[in-house]
Amino acid sequence: MKKKTILLITIVILLAVLGLWKYYKTTKKEEKVYSTIEIHKKQGNGYIEAKGKVEVNDMISVFVDKPLKVKEIFVKEGDYVEKGQILMTFDDLSKNKLLRSMEKEKLQLQKLRRNYEIEMSLEKIGGASLNSLKDMREEIRLHELSLEELNEDFRKTASEILSPANGTISSLTAQENYLVNTDSPLLKIADLSNIKIVLEIPEYNVRYLKLGEKLSLAPEIFEEKESFSGEIIRIGKIAKVSSITSENILEVEVKPLEEIPYIVPGFKVSARIQLQGDKEEKRILIPKTALLEENGSFYVFLVGEEQKVSKIVVEAEILSGKEAAILKGLKEGDIIISNPDVSLKEGDRILDSNKKDQ
């Protein structure tokens, strides 16, 4: 009797442990979180996602043609400036020196012209030679030319630099109390009224793009992922290595079709290019990540009541970009998992990352 009691207790304990193990395993599965999407029909041939940055079409370089000494600088890199705004001033030393030289030339010319008049009077009475008058006229002309050069030099000697356009200071090399380098720009101004987006497109995806194709742009400065429309205006012909992904890419230039507020050169931008196919009718497009393959067939996980999943075999057409077209097996309104994995089984319960309260 005692042995039977011990055996019975042992069986009960084993059953309890087995039950707890099954409960723990089931609970653990239920806690796995997946993203889901609702099926809708739409036109297109998939999409390509890309990253890039903002650049300007028109970069204005500001030079001076004399080694002037900078007196005061009123801006710094990154500042927004308006056309006609004073950016910097120069020391008056160069201009004052030119003014003194011009004054000397004027006095010399006055003296030469006065002497010439006297010589002209003497020549009439035979007191001066024609050669002497000719020499004096040539000397006067030389000083006139010298004065003209000084005047021209004075006009070119800037006392200040004014902004030639509205824009942002993208670089500034001038320093206060130092002479400027005439071979390089003092500063560069990015004309913000004429910007472009340069995207990095993997070389295997470029063949799907066309000039004039529309796309949506999402500058990373906007937390709510606000998007703006754009249009492809140039597709590069020379491949280069991406600074982001290290794969071979071509640069694609995009023109924004609407004003993007608060955006300046250097800002990062994400883009989604919806590829247009030859077919005009709408069809079911899903992310390629939602498809799993088994024995040569594609399947997805359909989410049903109580968040239980069903394994559904589908016929799919793999498109360019990141989407696949479903030819058979799904309908509008179905909800599927967009990021399934092979550990999922028929009848498993999931947590939906799109729902806060479950």
Q: Which CATH architecture has domain 47-57+196-274?
A: Beta Barrel (2.40)
β partners of residue 352: 34
Positive or negative, the Cα torsion across 330, 332, 334, 335? positive
Reduced to 3 states (helix: H, G, I; strand: E, B; else coil), residue 166 is: coil
β partners of residue 195: 56
| Mean pLDDT in order along the chain per 10 residues (358 residues) | 62 67 54 85 74 86 87 90 92 85 92 87 74 86 90 84 88 89 89 84 83 84 73 91 83 88 81 67 84 90 90 84 84 91 88 70
First-to-last CA distance in the chain?
51
Domain range 30-43+281-358, CATH class: mainly beta
Q: What is the pLDDT of residue 185?
A: 92
Picking from 330, 290, 286, the residue whose alpha carbon sits closest to that of residue 312 is 330
- Whether 322 and 46 have beta carbons less than 8 Å apart is answered as yes
Q: What is the pLDDT of residue 281?
A: 66
Picking from 210, 226, 310, 209, the residue whose alpha carbon sits closest to that of residue 260 is 226
DSSP per-residue codes, 335-356: EEESS--TT--TT-B-EETT-S
pTM over 0.75: no
Q: What is the pLDDT of residue 273?
A: 82
β partners of residue 84: none
Q: What is the pLDDT of residue 142?
A: 92
Reduced to 3 states (helix: H, G, I; strand: E, B; else coil), residue 281 is: coil
Positive or negative, the Cα torsion across 187, 192, 196, 200? positive
Domain 59-92+159-190 has CATH 3.40.50.300: no
